[in-house]
Amino acid sequence: MASTEQIPAWTAAGSARWSKRVWIALAGLALAATLIGRAQGGALWLGLLLGAAAAARVAVLLDALRPIAALVTAVRPLALPPLLILAAGTVESPLSLQLTAGIVAMLVAWHVLIRPEERRYRPALQAVWVAIRTGEGNGRRLIAGTLVLLAAVAVILGFLWLPSGDTLEDRGGVAAFFFSASIVLLGAAVVLRLLGYSSTRLRAIVSLCVLLAIVRVGMQLGLLPLHDALHDHVPWLTPGLLFTVAAAATVLAGLLDVVIRRQAERGNVGSALTRAILVFEGPVPYVGRTRPLSNYGLLCCVLAAVALSAAMIGAAYPGRSSGALADRLHPVAPRTIAPGAMSDRELAETFSPVLLFSKHARWSPVPVEGFLGKAAITDWEHKPVSKPIEQLDDCPGIVTAPCYTLTIRCDDGDAPCAQGAPNPTLEPRRSGAAYVRVVRRSRPPTDGSPNPFERVARLREQPTVLVQYWYFYPYDEWVSPVLAGQLRQRHEGDWEAVTIGFSDRAPLFVGFSQHCGGQWYPWDDVRVERAGTRLRPLVAVADGSQANYRYPNPAQAPDWSGCASLPPKTLTLVSYASNIRDRVAADWSWEPAAKPLVDARRSPMSFVGRWAPFSRTELDTLYRDQVLGPDASGPATPTLQMLWREPLRTIFRTPNWHAGKAS
């Protein structure tokens, strides 16, 4: 057995041999992964092995990972604002979950993001404190640098906001201002932390490539000029190429660190190889200034988190109702009524909703005939179809529905082809149309639609009657000013719906269709207008998007969570704070003209197609207008939508719909 004195030498020798073997083994694995290429899970297993080797403190691997670790350390505080956004996503969750999210967010923020930087910022804070007390020391420079930094952020924020000409309220008010400030501060933090990371020549190359890539992304988004010029003359200079160069430089820095360490262990510090490596890995001339830059970057991260918190607080109080008809919005206790004893027509007329519109609304529901008179029809191969939609009630062969597409060839809501809304000051209030569907549990659908009734656990009484009011709008164009531009979503013909569920004794709930889904409320939480024997729910319609809401708050935060397949309300505060809102008011009301009840056998509900060729989202910024992502499908005929085919399952059991919160 080896003596105690022999153990360190034996361990060191064995460790050296073991490090070489591990290095050779990992190199072989990397080569194998490269040869395998796209083998499923290959990169994951390689990453697990590399992580295990790093955890085991294999010297060679630790040397190789040192530049990557330094880069991670540099960008680590940037996770502070996104961490707050994740915590804010629980605002509609139970109190226990909100409390847990707040505690976890603060613990992670302090122990993982802020406290590891203590050795960097503590001396700076002490210097500032000395400067405040005595007026001397290096703290004065830090204070002056902080003021210059905040002034630069203010100039950038003003540059992004002022050119639009919108008022503060148009831009989203105080909440959106603080949200924009947090974005600008976070951008400044990225620049400063990367500059602080660039202590060697290779790291400076990494920082430069990442910063150039961010600039190119800003050009692509239209926040910065010269995108078209660069795209025409140097199309290869893409963000992907710049990020790839940065990654390659980081890997090269790791390899050079390994070689330098091995040269030092062998006593070859002054060798030609070491001197050649130091040409790349030697310190930059301004290395003494990188630490203050990192401290300023950390300060920007903290300020961004504070501004974001202020934006979230402002977003939690969206305001009160507005409009000339606001006094009609008080809830009215419904009188006793027996829906089961009423005919379909009586039920539809008794509970027909009153739609409330803003004075800025550009469209209200119209009969489909006017739209069809201007529309062209194409089939699944984009070939023109000459038949009327009354004859297009089935798809041929193996082609699945929807297989036809209507279009009025209108790409702009300002064009004459998109107009068609009645002017409430010139035309009678009773105009347009509502397409009403009534289904009963005691009378299954005879039009080929599925039986929509199933047990709903969230309701005390089970629905026995469903009434759906479908509204057709000739155009949908939702516009919202955001940081440095406007966000725009648009498509042609739009279908929206209000669904009311009844038991045999009383109304139970109302479902309001919105973006990618909707909200439902118990009947007692719905505002109702009583007119004689009629009990008419009041529905506030958003400008442009035609989303339906229970109450006309001047700026509703649309819930995009369902569109992103996230839990309900996780993006509501962020949407509101970033001014992604639905503008709603009660300036005038709309009452539908009576039309026969509809089912899937008669036009327009029999049409197996879409009412628009696409749905498109665009970002119009200072220097460029661009489409965000691929075009989505246009709205389909209601009979092809899940809200028609399985209304109870859609409203109560899908993530795109959720229970509304009465205010």
Contact 91, 98 (CB under 8 A): yes
Does 558 map to a domain?
A: yes
Question: What is the pLDDT at residue 649?
Answer: 93
Question: What is the pLDDT at residue 579?
Answer: 76
Question: What is the pLDDT at residue 3?
Answer: 40
Q: Are residues 237 and 366 in the same domain?
A: no
Contact 651, 511 (CB under 8 A): yes
Strands 465-482 and 435-440 turn out to be antiparallel
Does 543 map to a domain?
A: yes
| Positions in the chain short of pLDDT 70 | 1-64, 92-93, 135-140, 159-172, 268-270, 286-289, 317-336, 413-414, 419-431, 560-569, 593-594, 663
Count of structural domains, the chain: 3
Does 553 map to a domain?
A: yes
Q: Are residues 412 and 512 in the same domain?
A: yes
Contact 488, 620 (CB under 8 A): yes
Q: Are residues 272 and 412 in the same domain?
A: no
Does 370 map to a domain?
A: yes
Question: What is the pLDDT at residue 644?
Answer: 95
Q: Are residues 375 and 226 in the same domain?
A: no
Contact 376, 384 (CB under 8 A): yes
Give residue 19's domain range.
Answer: 11-33+43-57
Rounded Cα distance, 380 and 378, in Å = 7
Side chain identity at 619, as an amino acid letter?
L
256: Cα within 13 Å, side-chain hemisphere: 22
Contact 445, 451 (CB under 8 A): yes
10: Cα within 13 Å, side-chain hemisphere: 7
Three-class SS of 282-296: CECCCHHHHHHHHHH
Does 354 map to a domain?
A: yes
Q: Are residues 462 and 571 in the same domain?
A: yes
Q: Are residues 269 and 349 in the same domain?
A: no
Does 94 map to a domain?
A: no
Residue spans of alpha helices (H) in 37-94: 42-55, 59-75, 80-88
Query: pLDDT, tens digit, for every residue of 494-505?
Result: 999 999 999 988
Question: What is the pLDDT at residue 19?
Answer: 53
Side chain identity at 47, as an amino acid letter?
G
Does 497 map to a domain?
A: yes
Q: Are residues 555 and 635 in the same domain?
A: yes
Contact 359, 622 (CB under 8 A): no
Query: For 296-306, b where at least 16 C-beta lie within 10 A, e where not — what string?
Result: bbbbbbbbbbb
* Phi, psi (rounded to 5 degrees) for 562: -65, -35
Q: Are residues 496 and 620 in the same domain?
A: yes
Q: Are residues 272 and 363 in the same domain?
A: no
By three-state DSSP, how is residue 519 classified?
strand
Query: For 445-473, b where at least 16 C-beta lie within 10 A, e where not — what string?
Result: beeebeebbeebeebeebbbbbbbbbbbb
Question: What is the pLDDT at residue 2?
Answer: 40
